[in-house]
Amino acid sequence: MASRLEVDTQSHMALATTASASKLKAASIYGLPSPPDSPMLAKVPAANLPKNDIQVTAAMEANAKRLSIPRVVSWERFKQLVDAEDLKPLGRSYEMQITYEQHKVRMKEKYGSIADYLINYALAEFIADAKKVDASLPLSPSDFMFRANDFPYYLDDNVEHWVLWCKKQLPPGFVPPAAVVDAVAKRFGDNVEWRYFVNPVHRQSVPQLSHAHVFIKHNIDTCQI
């Protein structure tokens, strides 16, 4: 089984490709079973750059030590924290945070910043569609796009960490709008446990683009193998 540190570009692209079958059987991310196929999961270009080519600096190590957490957070503990609206104990592992620090350097060198990479490349088509949307209308499932988080929080291996991009502005908070509930049900089915939150602006890595964090735990009897 692949480790959570492995980011397989081919798996990302295979997962994102529109399929006529009702389920994707082979693709997986971080060793997790792929959820059912959905038109809401669009093809998103990956940062197709060499891995481990950025030297780890003292500044990266300092950031990783400051932002990472020392041990995995169990699903039960995670639910307690989110339900209590307490995000301070959450974060990435030290190794994952180092990988993220390297990624930020790559994105800055090639695109200017992570935000520029997303806005001008990875999510350019999604953002173009968002400009055509009437922001005064209520949210609907068509306003969303799910993408697996490339640098997930340090949680149990059977928890999937997704980013939910939205064409309209999502307010910070922990209560998912009804349209998000519908989107999660359509994307992952009803027999899952999940949690949702939108970080306050000062904690958002890309505040220019409205997005939420969605964490999915499939019940054992519904997981694909």
Domain residue ranges in the chain:
9-222
The closest of 48, 52, 165, 152 to 110, measured between CA atoms, is 48
Q: What is the pLDDT of residue 23?
A: 30
pLDDT digits (tens, 9 = 90+) for 96-111: 999 999 999 999 999 9
Rounded to 5 degrees, φ, ψ at 28 are -150, 155
pLDDT the model gives residue 10: 38
Residue 100: both structure tokens together: 């993220």
Residue type, 32: L
**pLDDT at residue 223, as a whole number:** 47
- Helix 94-111, helix 58-67: angle, nearest 10: 130
Those residues with Cβ within 8 angstroms of residue 89's Cβ, 6 or more apart along the chain or in another chain:
69, 73, 81
What confidence score (pLDDT) does residue 201 get? Answer: 86
Q: What is the pTM of this model?
A: 0.77
Whether 19 and 43 have beta carbons less than 8 Å apart is answered as no
* Contact in structure between 170 and 210 (CB atoms under 8 Å): yes
pLDDT value of position 53: 76
Residues of the chain scoring pLDDT < 50: 1-40, 42-44, 222-225
Which DSSP state fits 118? I
Query: How many Å apart are CA 136 and CA 86, to the nearest integer?
Result: 31
